[in-house]
A and B are shown apart, each in its own frame.
Chain A
Amino acid sequence: MRFHAEPIDFERQPGVGAPLWRGRAADGEDLLRFAISVHRHDGRLCALWGSDERSNGHGFRVHAIFALDEGWQYLTLDLPADDPVYPDLSGVFAAANRMQRATFDLVGIRHDGEDQRPWLRHGGWPADWFPLRHDAGDSPAHENRPTDYEFVKVGGEGAHEIPVGPIHAGIIEPGHFRFTVVGERVLRLEQRLGYLHKGTERRLAGADFSTGAKLVGRVSGDSTCAFAWAFAGAVEAACGVEPSPRALHLRALLLERERVANHLGDLGMLGNDAAFGFGLSQFFRLKEDWVRLNAQVFGHRFLMDRIVPGGVAVDADAAGLAAIAGQAETIEREVRELQRIYDEHAGLQDRFLTLGPIDAALVRELSLSGMAARATGLLLDARCHRHGYAPPAPWGTLAVRPASDERGDVAARVAVRFAEVYESLRLIRLLAAGLPGGELRVEVAPVPGAAGVGVIEGWRGEVIVGVQLGADGRIARCHPHDPSWQAWPALEHAVLRDIVPDFPLINKSFNLSYSGQDI
């Protein structure tokens, strides 16, 4: 299959996962031309990573995942071992910038563009040592000294910088924000991330499936179900295994419970950041009830390690399903009451409305996916039918309705979260009422040398995991991709019309993952 007449032949990935086609670019120009074509057709750059293929008699490889209306296009480009350079895609897709820099830090393959600043490497390891190369060995002795980072300087009278982080004021993940302000007005925000880089991809190299699932399930603790499902989907596609309908429906139940838990928590935090402590108390009470039932029925408050390659590690009995359906009723009633209070609270709406706006054009330019993209009016949701796109099982039969709001501000992101809570509660009731039969878990026999990609609509957005197996059937290379990669730059734009004290509220309305991006 070809896309938009580009001369690259794609083949559909087998299995029950998201519609994804794989192809190979003949050279760098091929890759660049395909990227331009995707951009011209309002597509997105979803992920980019590198791998060392020298032990297989090749050089290095760049992996890029794009998205068009029909689904995802997974394109690889082989690079020579002696001079691994590929064309800079950031001129086409701004989202490529940080991913390309991270790819150099980890694998040592370079894009030919201007911005060669390190991204994940702060000074913890030598600049000429690349942890994901096969012959990297143990990390060399190296003094861990923080390095200077070249933030873009803003000149002019009265402009000054406010450095924030890496340790922030609350109970939040670490990262550095460099604000340039005049008075209180934000002129520019530049993020420096990577503080949580824990070498997860290196830990994944050589791992078996069960270890891999545990590691990928901890890329971002608030999205453990989405990552575990995307990893399982990638492994199953690689090994030609299809989980049973029961397993797929249970996965959907777990994923929707994860979505509701996160939205409940964030709706409380959003009230709190606008000085409405009542919201925090109420929503955190509901969230606690919610995760306690997770523990009671599924054995873990955040549902870690419940989704595994081949299926799921837990079942739900009739009593558990009844409790889940009953709780969905109660929570919906309470959330609707709280939404009325939020909607009618003048002080709260005064903070939410027109704050931190982004629009659909920017969302397209930054390849954003998920909740924040839907809050600008784009009906982009991997679980939902749209023109030219059919969602994978089990979503197709559930007829998921995408939430949408066209305003693009904090108020819109709040409204989308409320709408998604109600839709997830509807799905949860539907799933709890009619779980199909089938095995909980089927055996996944590794197929040496096989590769697969899993795509799941997590609560923030599109979670992608790419897996390549080695000759021994273990994981040779695995790249977990969090949607925050694309959304962090959107936050840099969202703050530009507002003042510094508004930042916490704007930030919380996105609530992006640091750990997911830093891996």
Chain B
Amino acid sequence: MWPVLKRILKTGIVSEPAPEAGDVHREVDRLNDEILRIVGRALTIREVDAGSCNACELEIHALNNPYYNLEGRGIKFVASPRHADMLLVTGPVTKNMENALKIAYDSTPDPKLVVAVGDCGCGCGEVGALFGPNYATCGAVENVIPVDVRVPGCPPTPLALLQGILAAVRTR
């Protein structure tokens, strides 16, 4: 118990601006506050990997680390699309996931937001072109369900993901 408490105290609150990456931290705080100001209470997100190589998922995981502290601000990933305000979808959408993605979309209550994540999910950039539609994939997320906002990148940084979530909230 004591070593745990000691470690927690020693670590402190890293979500605050830190000198070595100060700009990033300030930007994170501003984005989180703005999302919550617009949503007013809490935003719930269901993440759907519809074909990704897992790199986008690693960056989405990072949103929950103490630096970005997403959950600490009331933005939460949920297990069921029925509990979600937003779908965060990575691609390229495979034929083998096309049906599951459509079911997840239909299961999300209105009004719902969809953010397409990554060059593959957005169908942009060199990598998006490399993983475009073929016998096994439908390509970009928007080829399968309506998309509100695109967050390109291979993979997009956690900061870009935060900005994309904010942009999607603004579209409503």
Residues in A lying within 8 Å of B, measured CB to CB: 122-125, 131, 138-139, 144, 146, 166-167, 169-174, 194-199, 202-203, 211, 214-215, 218-222, 224, 265, 278, 280-282, 284-285, 287-288, 291-292, 301-302, 304, 337-338, 340-341, 344-345, 513-515, 518
- In the complex, the answer to whether A284 meets B92 with C-beta atoms within 8 Å is no
- In the complex, the answer to whether B97 meets A195 with C-beta atoms within 8 Å is yes
Contacts of A337 in B (CB 8 A): 3, 7
Q: Does B38 contact A (CB under 8 A)?
A: no
Q: Does B171 contact A (CB under 8 A)?
A: no
- In the complex, the answer to whether A169 meets B135 with C-beta atoms within 8 Å is no
> Given A139-B134, A284-B65: A340 and B3 within 8 A (CB)?
yes
Q: Which of A139, A196, A215, A278 contacts B96 (CB 8 A)?
A: A196
**What are 9 A-B contacts defined by CB distance under 8 Å?**
A125-B135, A144-B95, A144-B99, A167-B48, A167-B100, A197-B95, A218-B154, A265-B61, A518-B96
A338 CA to B10 CA in the complex, in Å? 13
Contacts of A278 in B (CB 8 A): 4, 7-8
In the complex, how many angstroms separate the beta carbon of B106 from the nearest chain A beta carbon? 13
In the complex, how many angstroms separate the beta carbon of B110 from the nearest chain A beta carbon? 20
- In the complex, the answer to whether A514 meets B99 with C-beta atoms within 8 Å is no
In the complex, how many angstroms separate the beta carbon of A291 from the nearest chain B beta carbon? 8
Residue on A nearest B107 in the bound complex, by CB: A167
Q: Which of B4, B14, B64, B94 contacts A196 (CB 8 A)?
A: B94
Contacts of B54 in A (CB 8 A): 173, 220-222, 513-515
Question: What 0/1 pattern do residues 93 to 133 of B give for CB contact below 8 A with A?
Answer: 01111111000100000000000000000000011001100
Which of B95, B137, B157 lies at the interface centre, i.e. has the most chain A CB atoms within 10 A of its CB? B95
A218 CA to B137 CA in the complex, in Å? 15
In the complex, how many angstroms separate the beta carbon of B118 from the nearest chain A beta carbon? 10
Contacts of B104 in A (CB 8 A): 167
Q: Which of B3, B137, B154 contacts A199 (CB 8 A)?
A: B137
In the complex, how many angstroms separate the beta carbon of B125 from the nearest chain A beta carbon? 11
In the complex, how many angstroms separate the beta carbon of B66 from the nearest chain A beta carbon? 5
> Given A173-B54, A199-B136: A211 and B130 within 8 A (CB)?
yes
A125 CA to B21 CA in the complex, in Å? 49
- In the complex, the answer to whether A282 meets B127 with C-beta atoms within 8 Å is no
Q: Does B52 contact A (CB under 8 A)?
A: yes
Contacts of B100 in A (CB 8 A): 166-167, 174, 195
A345 CA to B5 CA in the complex, in Å? 13
- In the complex, the answer to whether B62 meets A198 with C-beta atoms within 8 Å is no
A293 CA to B128 CA in the complex, in Å? 26
Contacts of B55 in A (CB 8 A): 218, 221-222, 224, 302, 304
- In the complex, the answer to whether B65 meets A285 with C-beta atoms within 8 Å is yes
A456 CA to B130 CA in the complex, in Å? 24
- In the complex, the answer to whether A196 meets B52 with C-beta atoms within 8 Å is yes
A197 CA to B135 CA in the complex, in Å? 10
In the complex, how many angstroms separate the beta carbon of B49 from the nearest chain A beta carbon? 5
Contacts of B85 in A (CB 8 A): none
Contacts of A344 in B (CB 8 A): 3
A345 CA to B92 CA in the complex, in Å? 42
Chain B interface size band reads 35 or more
In the complex, how many angstroms separate the beta carbon of A430 from the nearest chain B beta carbon? 26
- In the complex, the answer to whether B136 meets A215 with C-beta atoms within 8 Å is no
Question: What 0/1 pattern do residues 47 to 65 of B give for CB contact below 8 A with A?
Answer: 1111111111111111011
In the complex, how many angstroms separate the beta carbon of A469 from the nearest chain B beta carbon? 19
Q: Does B79 contact A (CB under 8 A)?
A: yes
Q: Which of A131, A166, A172 contacts B135 (CB 8 A)?
A: A131
Give the A-B pair count, Cβ closer than 8 A: 157
- In the complex, the answer to whether B65 meets A124 with C-beta atoms within 8 Å is no
Residue on A nearest B14 in the bound complex, by CB: A285
- In the complex, the answer to whether A284 meets B53 with C-beta atoms within 8 Å is no
In the complex, how many angstroms separate the beta carbon of A463 from the nearest chain B beta carbon? 14
- In the complex, the answer to whether B77 meets A171 with C-beta atoms within 8 Å is yes
- In the complex, the answer to whether B134 meets A282 with C-beta atoms within 8 Å is no
- In the complex, the answer to whether A124 meets B3 with C-beta atoms within 8 Å is no
Using A278-B8, A285-B14, A344-B3 as known contacts, list a sample of 6 further A-B pairs with CB atoms less than 8 Å apart, ordered by residue number in A: A139-B135, A167-B49, A196-B52, A280-B64, A291-B62, A340-B3
Q: Does B155 contact A (CB under 8 A)?
A: yes
Contacts of A197 in B (CB 8 A): 94-96, 136
- In the complex, the answer to whether B134 meets A171 with C-beta atoms within 8 Å is no
Q: Which of A167, A194, A215, A221 contacts B52 (CB 8 A)?
A: A221
Contacts of A221 in B (CB 8 A): 52-58, 155
Contacts of A287 in B (CB 8 A): 62, 65
Residue on A nearest B88 in the bound complex, by CB: A171
A174 CA to B94 CA in the complex, in Å? 11
> Given A282-B7, A285-B67: A131 and B136 within 8 A (CB)?
yes
Contacts of B65 in A (CB 8 A): 281, 284-285, 287-288
In the complex, how many angstroms separate the beta carbon of A278 from the nearest chain B beta carbon? 6
Residue on B nearest A124 in the bound complex, by CB: B95
A171 CA to B66 CA in the complex, in Å? 17
- In the complex, the answer to whether B52 meets A173 with C-beta atoms within 8 Å is yes
Which of A196, A197, A340 lies at the interface centre, i.e. has the most chain B CB atoms within 10 A of its CB? A196
- In the complex, the answer to whether B126 meets A214 with C-beta atoms within 8 Å is yes
A221 CA to B62 CA in the complex, in Å? 14
A375 CA to B50 CA in the complex, in Å? 32
Question: What 0/1 pattern do residues 28 to 58 of B give for CB contact below 8 A with A?
Answer: 0000000000000000000111111111111
Pick the 6 closest A-B CB pairs, nearest first: A221-B55, A124-B95, A139-B135, A199-B136, A284-B65, A221-B53
> Given A195-B97, A341-B7, A344-B3: A288 and B127 within 8 A (CB)?
no
Q: Which of A139, A171, A195, A284 contacts B94 (CB 8 A)?
A: A195
Question: What 0/1 pattern do residues 136 to 155 of B give for CB contact below 8 A with A?
Answer: 11000000000000000011
A173 CA to B14 CA in the complex, in Å? 29
In the complex, how many angstroms separate the beta carbon of B47 from the nearest chain A beta carbon? 5
A76 CA to B68 CA in the complex, in Å? 50
- In the complex, the answer to whether A171 meets B47 with C-beta atoms within 8 Å is yes
Q: Which of A171, A292, A340 contacts B21 (CB 8 A)?
A: A292
- In the complex, the answer to whether B53 meets A218 with C-beta atoms within 8 Å is yes
A340 CA to B7 CA in the complex, in Å? 11
